[in-house]
A and B are shown apart, each in its own frame.
Chain A
Amino acid sequence: MMLSKGLKRKREEEEEEKEALAVDAWWLDPSHPAVAQAPPAVASSSLFDLSVLKLRHSLRQSEPDLRHLVLVVNTLRRIQASMAPAAALPPVPSPPAAPGVADPLLASSDAALSASMASLLEDLSHIEGLSQAPQPLADEGPPGRPTGGAPPGLGALDLLGPATGCLLDDGLEGLFEDIDTSMYDSELWAPASEGLKPGPEGGPGKEEAPELDEAELDYLMDVLVGTQALERPPGLGR
């Protein structure tokens, strides 16, 4: 793995490779005045993209490396903060006609990316927060599934969570007070899939955001339908 300008990119979009190479040239120059201030939106967008991909990849692990996750999230926050003018736009991608916006296409995709990042971060909290309730994971899916796949139970919990969170939080915790619940702690629901959460920031912005694989979604839907009734229909992507 050599360090060179023509580094093979992991991203699917080819056009971003050229953009990133152009970014690299700027980025490598420490004397560039832009480095000290908020970098131009072009650079941030590529870095943002990359960071979001890293975050998704990290969350897809059955047991994410918490340090890696936290560092990527914090970096994303820094990038988002530097993209503040673009991120202030509503999550709806506006048509590229708005005056005063430097690069309307970029601005809209930035906003959508910001929205997706926000929802990814919320996913992390939802996943960890819901884990306080000791759900019978065994029912949710076949044990011995290969790791790295999306555990079916995760989607179900995501759906149940917002509606029943308060019920689960205190009541069951009290019941299990005298039982060693260390095994039921945060790691119960490995954040392997973030695609099914119907976040409150729903709406047209979702369509622009990165989508869960159709195949993954179908599989999860099958399992969910098989194990329990849905409280509300899952959203596609976010």
Chain B
Amino acid sequence: MPSHRMPSEADIISTVEFNHTGELLATGDKGGRVVIFQREPESKNAPHSQGEYDVYSTFQSHEPEFDYLKSLEIEEKINKIKWLPQQNAAHSLLSTNDKTIKLWKITERDKRPEGYNLKDEEGKLKDLSTVTSLQVPVLKPMDLMVEVSPRRVFANGHTYHINSISVNSDCETYMSADDLRINLWHLAITDRSFNIVDIKPANMEDLTEVITASEFHPHHCNLFVYSSSKGSLRLCDMRAAALCDKHSKLFEEPEDPSNRSFFSEIISSVSDVKFSHSGRYMLTRDYLTVKVWDLNMEARPVETYQVHDYLRSKLCSLYENDCIFDKFECAWNGSDSVIMTGAYNNFFRMFDRNTKRDVTLEASRESSKPRAVLKPRRVCVGGKRRRDDISVDSLDFTKKILHTAWHPAENIIAIAATNNLYIFQDKVNSEMH
């Protein structure tokens, strides 16, 4: 991120997303800007700078809007970015705020035509009497220019706040989900969308559950999942019905009676759901855990990992300061063997599904100089305290790692810590195991 400007609230990163090859990394922020980073090609001449990400393009995706009819301000904050699979030389991505989704096309220009007959070098019309012969304009190399243009604006599809977008594997459609509805769009058609899920009750008084996240299956273009504030997942099949209010499968874990409290529902609310690359599993994040679900088993998750269980006894305070409502994201690595999620105090956690080992790392300027190795951190909950341990009561709850992303193929992760972006690479183990 540019460091010459004073950090402001507009710079708070609100989403991070690698493209399908991992060559590009897009971030969206609260001010409606999108910044795209590109990975420098590895060069034998400068081995130390191989594979680092530099700023590729910056553009204003969404502006603050005022809805005069409803007397409401519409925030420009970018909630989600999703890349389209690359189909030609251009890159495309979808970015969305609370209400409007936009399709952006990113193209490179590194040549320009020179030698026009009718115009001079500055573009001014030539005096025709001076033109004595015709020439064919030639393409000459120029400094790389990255051009971003809005190709589609998908507006007026949502009454409530959009929380997710997901591109279908058919590369022709995508879905957008708000608190109560999910719409299906065709990428080329902006003036209509199909409503495929609607959980709005006839009486809003009866509203007890909202949609929190949704995603298309990576391979089956007819399947998608959506999560709810009550901790359930619904897998839907678009071939079964036009309106997918009836789920094909309902994934829900029964409440643990020994852990029951007034906050049970809040902490069970799913803040993110991600299909594994294989398409066989789903990963969910709720307030205290990440869970792996097998699509073939609805009764309970196959794996549960504690992110910060030491917070379980602090739920009352976390409810009071609203931290209990924080929405953390989660991510798979390319081979689906490791999962990652953020926490407080700029900590993020990784869980190896095979070895069952986990690690806590910190994203901060102090603890990470370039090319330094990240040191594992530990939160102590009383009892023996090691030298570098952090005690639970010293955790900074304003430093939340809500947004994280993992390169699709390599051990490179992007961590958003408020208004800073950290990119960590595992040089030793670059290949997936």
Binding site for B on A (CB under 8 A): 1-4, 7, 9-10, 23-24, 27-30, 35-36, 47, 50, 54, 62-63, 65-68, 70-71, 73-75, 78-79, 82, 121-122, 124-125, 127-129, 137-138, 141, 143-145, 147, 151, 180, 182-183, 185-188, 190
A187 neighbours in B (Cβ, 8 Å): 70, 72, 159-160
Q: Mark B380-398, 1 if CB is under 8 A from A, else 0.
A: 0000000000001111111
B429 neighbours in A (Cβ, 8 Å): none
Q: Please determine whether A70 and B229 come into contact, CB atoms closer than 8 angstroms.
A: yes
Q: Please determine whether B210 and A66 come into contact, CB atoms closer than 8 angstroms.
A: yes
How many Å lie between the Cα of A27 and that of B316 in the bound state?
A: 8
Closest 10 CB pairs of A and B: A125-B205, A128-B204, A66-B179, A185-B159, A147-B73, A67-B210, A71-B266, A143-B68, A27-B316, A28-B313
Which applies to chain A's interface (DSSP): helix, strand, loop or mixed? helix
Q: Mark B260-284, 1 if CB is under 8 A from A, else 0.
A: 1111011001000000000000000
Q: Please determine whether B229 and A67 come into contact, CB atoms closer than 8 angstroms.
A: yes
> Quick check: is B209 within 8 A (CB to CB) of the other chain?
yes
Residue of A nearest to B392 (CB): A3
How many Å lie between the Cα of A15 and that of B161 in the bound state?
A: 38
How many Å lie between the Cα of A84 and that of B180 in the bound state?
A: 31
Q: Please determine whether B312 and A2 come into contact, CB atoms closer than 8 angstroms.
A: no
Interface core residue of A2, A36, A63 (most chain B CB under 10 Å)? A63
Choice from A4, A68, A143, A186 contacting B71 with Cβ under 8 Å: A143
Residue of A nearest to B179 (CB): A66
A67 neighbours in B (Cβ, 8 Å): 179, 210, 212, 229, 269, 325
How many Å lie between the Cα of A67 and that of B269 in the bound state?
A: 9
A30 neighbours in B (Cβ, 8 Å): 312-313
Residue of B nearest to A30 (CB): B313
How many Å lie between the Cα of A176 and that of B68 in the bound state?
A: 21
Q: Please determine whether B69 and A138 come into contact, CB atoms closer than 8 angstroms.
A: yes
30 contacts across the A-B interface (CB closer than 8 A): A1-B397, A2-B395, A3-B392, A24-B316, A24-B317, A28-B313, A36-B260, A50-B319, A62-B72, A63-B161, A65-B161, A66-B180, A67-B179, A67-B212, A67-B325, A70-B207, A71-B229, A71-B265, A71-B266, A71-B269, A73-B208, A75-B265, A121-B205, A125-B203, A137-B71, A141-B71, A144-B68, A182-B156, A186-B200, A188-B70
How many Å lie between the Cα of A198 and that of B208 in the bound state?
A: 25
How many Å lie between the Cα of A125 and that of B206 in the bound state?
A: 8
Q: Please determine whether B263 and A186 come into contact, CB atoms closer than 8 angstroms.
A: no
Q: Please determine whether B180 and A62 come into contact, CB atoms closer than 8 angstroms.
A: no
Q: Please determine whether A183 and B180 come into contact, CB atoms closer than 8 angstroms.
A: no
Residue of A nearest to B158 (CB): A182
Q: Please determine whether A79 and B200 come into contact, CB atoms closer than 8 angstroms.
A: no
Min CB distance B243 to A, Å, is 16
Residue of B nearest to A7 (CB): B317
> Quick check: is B194 within 8 A (CB to CB) of the other chain?
no
Q: Please determine whether B205 and A71 come into contact, CB atoms closer than 8 angstroms.
A: no
How many Å lie between the Cα of A147 and that of B72 in the bound state?
A: 6
A145 neighbours in B (Cβ, 8 Å): 71
Min CB distance A50 to B, Å, is 6
A28 neighbours in B (Cβ, 8 Å): 313-314, 316
Min CB distance B307 to A, Å, is 16
**Apart from A71-B266, A122-B205, A128-B204: 14 A-B pairs, beta carbons within 8 A:** A7-B320, A30-B313, A36-B260, A47-B316, A66-B161, A124-B204, A124-B205, A129-B203, A137-B70, A137-B71, A147-B73, A151-B71, A186-B204, A187-B159
Min CB distance A24 to B, Å, is 6
How many Å lie between the Cα of A18 and that of B266 in the bound state?
A: 26
How many Å lie between the Cα of A66 and that of B70 in the bound state?
A: 17
A147-B229 in contact given A3-B393, A67-B210, A187-B159 (Cβ < 8 Å):
no
A10 neighbours in B (Cβ, 8 Å): 320
B397 neighbours in A (Cβ, 8 Å): 1-3
Min CB distance B283 to A, Å, is 20
How many Å lie between the Cα of A117 and that of B399 in the bound state?
A: 33
Interface core residue of B262, B265, B325 (most chain A CB under 10 Å)? B262
How many Å lie between the Cα of A145 and that of B355 in the bound state?
A: 58
Min CB distance B229 to A, Å, is 5
Min CB distance B37 to A, Å, is 30
B156 neighbours in A (Cβ, 8 Å): 180, 182-183
How many Å lie between the Cα of A47 and that of B324 in the bound state?
A: 14
A185 neighbours in B (Cβ, 8 Å): 159
How many Å lie between the Cα of A24 and that of B317 in the bound state?
A: 8
Q: Mark B296-338, 1 if CB is under 8 A from A, else 0.
A: 0000000000000000111011111111010000000000000
